[in-house]
Each structure stands twice: as C-alpha cells, then as structure tokens.
C-alpha cells in the first residue's frame, strides 16, 4: 500500500463510503476503542484533580505556543551544549534529506536503521526515503512492525494496527517471518516479534526516533512507551537521530509533571507508561555517541499564525479524541487519507497542507463535542472544525465556488427562509415530491430511501422520513390555538 498522502488520496466521503461496509474493520475498531475508553474512564475517575490537570496542560501549551521561537532557541542551545547536534527542516523533503545523509554517514556497510514508533516520521514518509537511498528501516514497535510487514498504513495514533485482529496478525507473522504453526495467543505473537527483533537490536548501530516532548530548559528529549523497544533503541545503537515537530517543546522539566499524568491516562488507560526515557546529549560511557535532533516545521509555522487554529499545535498525540469519535468508530483511520486520523487529523492535516489538499476532512465530524471533553489539554476541536469549514467555504478556489451545486443549494435555502410565503411554497413543493418518492414500510410509516442527484448522498447510507402532510404552523392555525385557549379557560374556571 502506498504511504498515506491526502494530495493523492480520495476525499473522505468517497473513502468512508467504502470502509463503512467493511464489517471486519468496523468490528476491530469498535472493540479496540471500547477497551481503551473503559480503561481510561477508570484511571481518570481516580484523579480528583483531573480537570485541574487538564487546565494546567492547556495553559502550559498556550504559553509555549506564544513564545515558541524563544523556547526552540533555548532547546537548541542546551542540547548543543550537552553534545547533541540540532538541525532545522522547513519541509518534509528537507527532513528526509538530513536523515538520509546522516544514515549514510553512520550506517556504513550495514545500510540499516532501527526505528522507534513515530508519527512524525510517518508524516514525512521517512521509510520510503530511506529505502530509496538503499537503507533498510525496521520498525521495532509491535504495531508498527505489523504495519510494515503487511505493507499497510497506520489507522490510529497510539495503536497503529488497531484495525487488525489476532488471526490476521498471526497469518501475517506466519507468512513474513516464516513461522508455520505459530500460535494465536498474544504471548505467541509477542514472542515471535521479540525473537525477530532481538538480532536487530544487538546488531544495528543506528536508530531513528521521534519525541513526545522536547525540554527547552535542559535540552533533553522525553519518549514514553509501553513495550521497551524504545529503551533498546535509545541505549544500544552508537548513533541516534531524533525527528520532532517544533510543536513538541515544553519550557521546563517540571512541566512533565502534568504531561506524564495526563498523557498515559488519555492514551492507553494507564496510570504511567511502563517506560519513560529522558536523555540529554551524549555521554562517553552510556548511550549513543552521536546524537542528532531534527526540528521539523512542515507547515506548523502557518498553523501558529492562525489565532483559532493554533490550538491544534497543543496536541500531545494521546488519540483520546479518536477513541470517542462516532465518525472514526464507523470508518477507521484509513478514510482520512492521512497519518493523522480522527478529530485531530481532521483539523491538523488541512492546516499543515494549507487547506489545499484535504478540504473534506473538516467536514468529517458530527460536531458532537466528545473530542473536546476528553482532550487532556482542552483543545476545542469543534471550534477549529467550524473555523476551517468557514475558511473553505469562503475560499473561491476551494471547489465550493458561488455557482457550484452545493453553494446554489445553500443559497436557495437561505432565499426560502427569508420569507414566510417562500417557505410555505417550498414546503408544498417538498410535500408533493415526498408523495411521489415515499414508500410505506411494514409498520405503515412512510420513508424516502432514494433521492436523485446530489441529494442521493443522504439516502445512500440512511433513509429519510417522508414530509408530514401538515406542518406545525398549519396545525397551530387550525387546532393548536383553539386548544390552548380552551385549556386556559378550563384552568380559570
């Protein structure tokens, strides 16, 4: 499967219309998100100060974004002082070039790197760039390894292989790892992955990672994980290359006190991640001898310039919003055509691409607000969605020009609602059309299950109740007012 790229992927409605019919994916997604939500609810309920922690996280991120330039320079200074090397990349292509150059320099004849799970490397399609340069990357996170071996794409930020079940994973491992007779228990599968990866941990000298947080005060980097593969990649190789978005910076080491309480609870329903690794620069007797950090912009500066949209950069990639989103639960992550799926992907991807190549994503939401309620840093995702929708609609080059069918339909609706006489006329016309299209069901109710043209987008996935023969206004004028008067007269007596 090709890397996810909104510039070449079908629009969300087209992709979703296919995926909603995949019963296996829907079942896998529902099961996984239900389990995570239940675990999250239990550990959050234990925290009497949970809302205070959310507010603290929000304030830390707001402060950081208002002073991002200063904190990035402070991080660079302190990281360099500790023995690290900091590179700046404006685009994905620049980041790819830097990583490939460093990998060519340090891998020697091995021509291999091991990788820690990183959405940022997925964002810039790093694996494809490394492979094109003759360097073989190996994912060491279990879920990412499943994705890589299956030539698949991640469908979730925290659990990339969430759309796969145990039977599918077993078949994949049997085929790709040449393990006939492999068992189906989680222990069987993790042991197969552990054996497969152990040789690579001990042999490959160069690792690539992302970062959960950059600490400006110390120049340090924090990574949290659940499997221990990250710890292996951070300690065994001689060279470590870290790629981090410029939005990952925190001002102080003390800020981790908040983030390391809210992130694991929101992401995996754990009180603490099993492995929390923080490293600063290099040390002559411990860890990598060569340490490079690439600070990636790739559209983030443009997001920062938008007063409403900049709160998107507060995200700490917990994926709690995805687990509660009714749209994501029906379609899975691949419908979004981006490495960032769900509600956060619906606002992040369009902004990183300047709305040019992901215009359908801000509309991939019911605006129910569940995402805002669970966000550990209180990103008002519905507010940003509405903001982006407004920008798309008013952009003449967006495909919703003044004379497009959708725009004309909205103009007709506005024209109708501005006049009672016109509204009554449109209601009569709708009633006539309904009488032709409606069909009676077994219970005697009338439903419209087919509409022509663009209106068919509604009935393609749901039925529409027939237009009533009488409006509330008609009923009120003929019976309602008299009934209310009679009731009041009786009460008075």
Q: What is the DSSP string of 105-172?
A: HHHTTS-EEEE---HHHHHTTHHHHHHHTT-EEEE-SHHHHHHHHTT----SSS-TTTT--HHHHHHH
Structure-token match 């009120």, residue found: 476
Confidence of residue 1 (pLDDT cuts 50, 70, 90): low
Whether residue 492 is predicted with pLDDT greater than 60 in this model: the reply is no
Confidence of residue 411 (pLDDT cuts 50, 70, 90): confident
Rg value, the chain, Cα: 27
Q: What is the pLDDT of residue 453?
A: 81
Q: What is the pLDDT of residue 364?
A: 94
Residues 84, 291 contacting (CB under 8 angstroms): yes
Of 289-293, 387-391, 402-406, the poorest mean pLDDT is in 402-406
Q: What is the pLDDT of residue 490?
A: 60
Tokens of 189: 């599968």
Q: What is the pLDDT of residue 200?
A: 95
Whether residue 88 is predicted with pLDDT greater than 60 in this model: the reply is yes
In this structure, the strands spanning 290-296 and 85-89 are parallel
pTM of the full predicted structure? 0.85
Residues 251, 75 contacting (CB under 8 angstroms): no
Distance between CA atoms of 326 and 29, rounded to whole angstroms?
Answer: 11
Percentage, residues of the chain above pLDDT 70: 94
Distance between CA atoms of 319 and 324, rounded to whole angstroms?
Answer: 9
Q: What is the pLDDT of residue 402?
A: 62
Stretch 414-430: mean pLDDT, rounded?
91
In this structure, the strands spanning 213-215 and 220-225 are antiparallel
Structure-token match 């309620």, residue found: 373
Whether residue 99 is predicted with pLDDT greater than 90 in this model: the reply is yes
What is the SS3 assignment for 298? coil
Of 12-16, 28-32, 67-71, 394-398, the poorest mean pLDDT is in 394-398
Whether residue 446 is predicted with pLDDT greater than 50 in this model: the reply is yes
Whether residue 224 is predicted with pLDDT greater than 60 in this model: the reply is yes
Query: What would the pLDDT profile of 177-218 be if each residue is shown by its tens digit?
Result: 999 999 989 999 999 999 999 999 999 999 999 999 999 999
Stretch 225-251: mean pLDDT, rounded?
96
**Cβ contacts of residue 220 below 8 Å, gap of 6+?**
78, 79, 82, 214, 253, 278, 279, 280
Backbone angles phi, psi at 63, to 5 degrees: -60, -45
Q: What is the pLDDT of residue 491?
A: 60
Q: Which of 296-305, 435-444, 466-475 ranks highest by mean pLDDT?
A: 296-305
Confidence of residue 398 (pLDDT cuts 50, 70, 90): very low
DSSP string, 178-202: T-TT---SHHHHHHHHHHHHHHHHH
Q: Based on the number of CB atoms within 10 Å of its own CB, is 302 exposed (0-12), middle (13-18) or buried (19 or more)?
A: middle
Query: What would the pLDDT profile of 127-148 be if each residue is shown by its tens digit?
Result: 999 999 999 999 999 999 999 9
Distance between CA atoms of 102 and 453, rounded to whole angstroms?
Answer: 54
Q: How confident is the prediction for the chain on average, in pLDDT?
A: 91
Whether residue 361 is predicted with pLDDT greater than 90 in this model: the reply is yes
In this structure, the strands spanning 112-115 and 439-440 are unpaired
């Amino acid at each position: 499967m090709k890397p996810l790229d909104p510039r070449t992927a079908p629009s969300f409605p087209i992709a979703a219309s296919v995926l909603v019919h995949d019963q296996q994916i829907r079942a896998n997604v529902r099961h996984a998100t239900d389990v995570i939500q239940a675990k999250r609810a239990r550990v959050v309920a234990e925290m009497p100060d949970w809302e205070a922690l959310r507010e603290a996280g929000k304030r830390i991120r707001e402060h950081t974004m208002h002073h991002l330039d200063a904190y990035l320079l402070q991080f660079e200074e302190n990281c360099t002082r500790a023995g690290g090397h900091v590179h700046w990349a404006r685009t994905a292509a620049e980041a790819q070039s830097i990583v490939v150059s460093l990998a060519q320099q340090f891998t020697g004849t091995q021509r291999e790197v091991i990788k820690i799970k990183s959405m940022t490397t997925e964002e810039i399609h790093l694996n494809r760039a490394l492979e094109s340069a003759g360097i073989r990357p190996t994912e060491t996170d279990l879920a990412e390894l499943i994705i890589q071996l299956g030539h698949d794409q991640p469908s979730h930020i925290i659990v990339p292989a969430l759309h796969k079940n145990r039977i599918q994973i077993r078949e994949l491992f049997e085929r790709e790892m040449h393990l006939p007779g492999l068992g189906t228990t989680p222990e069987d599968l993790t042991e197969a992955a552990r054996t497969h990866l152990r040789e690579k941990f001990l042999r490959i000298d160069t690792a690539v990672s992302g970062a959960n947080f950059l600490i400006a005060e110390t120049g340090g980097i924090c990574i949290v994980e659940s499997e221990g593969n990250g710890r292996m990649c951070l300690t065994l190789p001689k060279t470590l290359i870290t790629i981090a978005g410029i939005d990952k910076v925190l001002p102080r080491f003390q800020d981790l006190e908040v983030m390391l309480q809210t992130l694991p609870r929101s992401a995996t329903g754990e009180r603490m991640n099993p492995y929390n690794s923080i490293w600063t620069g290099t040390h002559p007797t411990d860890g990598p001898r060569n340490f490079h950090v690439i600070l990636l912009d790739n559209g983030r500066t443009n997001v920062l310039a938008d007063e409403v949209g900049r709160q998107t950069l507060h995200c700490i990639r917990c994926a709690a919003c995805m687990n509660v989103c009714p749209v994501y639960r029906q379609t899975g992550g691949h419908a979004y055509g981006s490495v960032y799926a769900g509600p956060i992907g619906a606002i992040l991807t369009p902004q990183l691409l300047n709305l040019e190549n992901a215009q359908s994503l801000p509309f991939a939401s019911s605006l129910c607000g569940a995402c805002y309620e669970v966000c550990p840093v209180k990103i008002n995702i519905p507010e940003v969605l509405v903001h982006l929708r407004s920008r798309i609609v008013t952009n003449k080059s967006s495909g919703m020009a003044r004379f497009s069918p959708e725009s004309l339909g909205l103009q007709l609706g506005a024209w109708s609602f501005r006049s009672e006489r016109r509204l009554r006329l449109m209601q009569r016309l709708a009633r006539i059309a309904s009488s032709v299209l409606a069909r009676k069901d077994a219970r005697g109710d009338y439903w419209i299950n087919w509409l022509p043209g663009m209106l068919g987008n509604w009935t393609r996935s749901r039925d529409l109740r027939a237009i009533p023969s009488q409006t509330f206004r008609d009923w009120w004028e003929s019976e309602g007012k008299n009934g209310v008067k009679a009731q009041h007269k009786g009460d008075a007596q």
